[in-house]
Structure 1
C-alpha cells in the first residue's frame, strides 16, 4: 500500500518569494465566521525556508502574522491579483519601460470612439 500511495503523491516544495495560501485550521483557532467561510486564507509570501518542510510566511506589508508552518498546510496561489511590489525593488529599466508603455497607450481610447 505504501508503494501505491507514494506513486501518486508528490511532496510539496516551495521556494522563497512564492505566493501560497494557508489552510485555516479550526482546531487551533476558533473561527466564528459565516457558515460558508473560505477554508484557505492568504495569499502570503514565503519569506524563509527551513529544513524539514517548514516555512516562515510574510504578508504583503512584510509582517509575520503566522509562526513557522509545515508545508502540508500550504498550497500554491494561482490568483490573478498579485500583491503590489514596492518601487524600491524595481530597476530603473523596468520603471522606464512601464512609463513608455503608458505613454504609448494614450491614444488607444480614441480608436474605440
Structure 2
C-alpha cells in the first residue's frame, strides 16, 4: 500500500517569491464564517522558506497576516491572466521515452534509406 500511495503522492515545495493560497482554518474554537465562505484565502507571496516544510507568507504590501504555516496548508496559485515565468509544463517519463524513441527511429530509417 505504501508503494501505491507514493506513486501518486507529489511533494509540495514552494520557492521564495511564488504565489500560494492558504487554507482557511480555525486555529481554535468554532467556525464563525458564513456557510459558503471560501476554503482558501490569498494569494500570498512566499517570503521565507524554513526547514521541514514551513513557510512565512506575506501580502503584496510586505505584511505578514498569518503565522508560519506548514506546507500542507498551502497550494500553488495560478493567475488567470498570465502563467508564472518559471512554470513549465511537466512531462511524464513515458512521454520523454516515447519522444526519444521516435527521434531514434526516424534517424535509423533515414540512415537505412540512404544506403
Aligned equivalents of 1:53 and 1:22: distance in 2?
A: 14
1:72 is matched with 72
TM-score by length of 1: 0.66
CA distance in 2, matches of 1:78, 1:6: 25
> Where does structure 1 differ by over 4 angstroms across 4 or more consecutive aligned residues?
none
Q: Match of 1:54?
A: 54
1:1-113 maps to which residues of 2 (within 5 A)? 1-28=1-28, 30-80=30-80
Q: Which of the two has higher C-alpha Rg?
A: 2
In structure 1, what is the Cα distance between the partners aligned to 2:12 and 2:29? Answer: 24
Structure 2 unaligned blocks of 5 or more:
83-115
Q: Does the C-alpha gap of structure 1 residues 57 and 27 become closer, same or farther in structure 2, counting only changes over 3 Å? A: closer
Gaps of 5+ in 1: 83-113
Quote the offset at 1:50 in angstroms.
Answer: 0.5
Between the aligned partners of 1:30 and 1:18, the Cα distance in structure 2 is: 31
1:27 is displaced (CA, Å) by: 4.9
The TM-score with structure 2 as length reference comes to: 0.65
**RMSD across aligned C-alpha pairs, in angstroms?**
1.8
Aligned length: 82
